[in-house]
A and B are shown apart, each in its own frame.
Chain A
């Protein structure tokens, strides 16, 4: 069930109350049952089977790996464990994509291969817990962690409901000890958790879903636009995906905090990054750490003899995998490839850039910082075109038509879109005010420590955020419905 649904608003307090009132020994089972129920609420029965399969396989391989005597056996087991998990992921997520491309390839080669269409499976959450499973096995192989013997805690580690569908991707060493820690009611965690949840909900339903209305208008019919509307829709998408994903993460972190579980912070103002490498230190942090530790570093080690070229190749390979992980389409692959290319290039030019800044004496100037943020944001937004476009043709059209000579014609199109109907104009107003609230919160975050403020101030903030979220959540039916008009 999505976090922004009524079912979840009832599910979470019920789970918490049951969790709170049962004995300490039974608490893990309450959370596990709740997590399985949460997954079952998607109404896709085979997903539970997949989760069980990944859990049993990984648990077994983990124990065997730890008990393995020789390094040859260990190697066989680690590749076996990774192989089984990857196979499950490929079957669930990539078979239709592979089959489609095989068909295209056979047509190109004039082969008469009869490739049957493959059923598309729903694979919600599978990428996340499979990656968690792989990291668990690799950590045991590298002797960083010991296997978890208690099957219940291990199952809960994979299935914990706040992070089950969209992460963060947690390391076993971070999460399992927290799951085992004795629970004691913590007022600050409860308060912070609920506020974080509400803030995440605000970002998702008021801002992200509303930005989506504009983005969808353009990206679902790109051929009808050129120039400024395409550019603004691309920027809007950059913020939509950030608000959507970080909003979801805030809700996940907030939910987990009620149970005194601290999940990994997944975002740290990514659009303030001064380089693409910096961007990946701030965006989807749990995922970027995963690909850094389990793909990039091993490849870089393997290709160390190629020096910078080896590092560049490792970066490109890593981010191609990242693109594929995000989705089974060439758009995602190109998106990942672009990021890999950005970072690969920086391996070569970075030393010279640093030297140049030093010689010019501008390395500490604020304007340079602003310029770097601007460039990085545009590079990232450019890559988002391939991520969002409905097809490669659409993506290439957008890229070719982002900048046109007729900026005023484009301006008129944008004004029409934003104000052409009462619905558009009121959405634009609500969006501007809401983005202003986000900006204010970001600027004042360190100066105004909310929980140290007087009660009237704190309650005022709680009220404002809750009421604003309730009254101004975007509704796609708002395109067709005014209750009063």
Chain B
């Protein structure tokens, strides 16, 4: 029994070590961003859902914001099925990795129809279907708070805890990343026999651009919109201080940066949700709170219609550049013209 146990422990430790090496060579999402900012700091960070991933082109934003050869850098951390909690921990990691924290950094967060995500800490810290995004950003010291405040089921909490402790758990399924890397490198040499029309949709942030994926996404958009209209609740002003948004704002400000929200264009399926009385009320409450917290909200000057959202969720690729530039312009017009932002950055 002792010999067997020793061999078993040795086997598991070897696998764990191998996967720790793997994870350091092939980091994902925020871990990759943290790895990069150590040597190449950022100026603009976009956080949010896959809508952010598809609509913002980092290089375009940097160009639109600065002069040629500007040292500024933009990163897009938008990810499908991500939560604000995950972005909070991710930003904290980035701040810790950069020499001056988030000094001079602007963090952008989407706010569809002017209403940001008002999730509170005593809610779900990750999406049930993918706790590994939380594993990617949370630290060991956060586990106590996680068990106390997260409202997910035991299974999910166990998965996140195990993933935080073990790379073997955290890396489940990550072999796909290596395969996709290899595929993309040789793809140019493979003759494509597909007759499928290429859809005008980015695959960033986990977005599916194939026909079946698009149909799935559309069905999901319709059902989620129906649910949101049915179960919508008024934002509680008294819970404002418990929101993750406030924590992100405090973190970014403390580290010397600035949080800015911006209007995210929506398809009519999702827009209809915001025309209800509850959401109109929520818009008023949200704007009051944003004023109190001194978080500006930008309105990019760009018209969209339903054709611009092939899967009802994400802006099509051919308009991303235009949206990115219009957002940059809105930023310049609203905040930099007043000189306020300029002096902050200096």
Chain A residues engaging chain B, CB cutoff 8 angstroms:
5-7, 10, 20, 185, 187, 190-191, 194, 217, 412, 415-417, 419-427, 429-430, 459, 462-463, 466-468, 470-485
Contact = CB atoms under 8 A, between A and B. Distances in A.
23 contacts: A6-B162, A7-B158, A190-B4, A217-B212, A412-B195, A415-B194, A420-B211, A421-B210, A421-B213, A462-B11, A463-B11, A466-B11, A468-B175, A470-B175, A471-B175, A472-B176, A475-B172, A477-B129, A478-B173, A482-B180, A483-B79, A483-B177, A483-B206
A426 B179 contact: yes
B64 interface: no
Interface string B48-88: 00000000000000000000000000000001110000000
A113 to B, nearest CB: 35
A6 B159 contact: yes
A421 B209 contact: yes
Contacts of A467: 15, 18-19
Given A420-B210, A467-B15, A430 B179 contact: yes
B126 to A, nearest CB: 11
B15 to A, nearest CB: 6
B171 interface: yes
B223 interface: no
A471 B210 contact: no
Report the interface size class on chain B. 35 or more
B173 A482 contact: no
Given A185-B1, A420-B196, A481-B80, A459 B11 contact: yes
Residue of B81, B173, B175, B176 contacting most chain A CB atoms (<10 Å) = B176
Q: Which 8 A-B pairs have the closest CB atoms?
A: A471-B175, A421-B210, A481-B206, A483-B28, A420-B210, A426-B179, A472-B175, A416-B196
B176 A430 contact: yes
Contacts of A470: 15, 19, 168, 171-172, 175
A6 B208 contact: no
Given A6-B155, A470-B19, A480 B208 contact: yes
B174 interface: yes
A418 to B, nearest CB: 9
Given A185-B1, A420-B196, A7 B213 contact: no
A475 B173 contact: yes
B301 interface: no
Chain A CB within 10 A, most for which of B162, B183, B210: B210
Nearest to A469: B172
Given A415-B193, A415-B194, A484-B28, A421 B179 contact: no
Interface of A is mostly: helix
Interface string B148-180: 000000010011001000001101111111111
B1 A423 contact: no
B173 A473 contact: yes
Interface in B208-231: 208-213, 216
Contacts of A421: 203, 208-210, 213
A463 B15 contact: yes
B253 to A, nearest CB: 29
Interface in B1-41: 1, 3-4, 8, 11, 14-15, 18-19, 28-29, 32
A481 B11 CA distance: 30
Contact of A479 (B14, B169, B216): B216
Contacts of B212: 217, 417
B320 interface: no
Most buried by B among A190, A421, A483, A485: A483
B249 interface: no
Contact of A425 (B18, B80, B183): B183
Name which of B3, B180, B212 has the most chain A CB atoms within 10 A of its CB.
B212
B136 interface: yes
Contacts of A480: 80-81, 206-208, 213
Contact of B171 (A420, A463, A471, A478): A471
A477 B80 CA distance: 10
Nearest to B18: A467
Interface in B112-160: 129-130, 132-133, 136, 155, 158-159
Residue among B3, B159, B180 with the most chain A CB within 10 A? Answer: B180
B204 interface: yes
A478 B175 CA distance: 11
A426 B187 CA distance: 11
A424 B179 CA distance: 12
Contacts of B173: 471-475, 478
B174 A481 contact: no
Nearest to B11: A462
A41 to B, nearest CB: 10
A34 B132 CA distance: 29
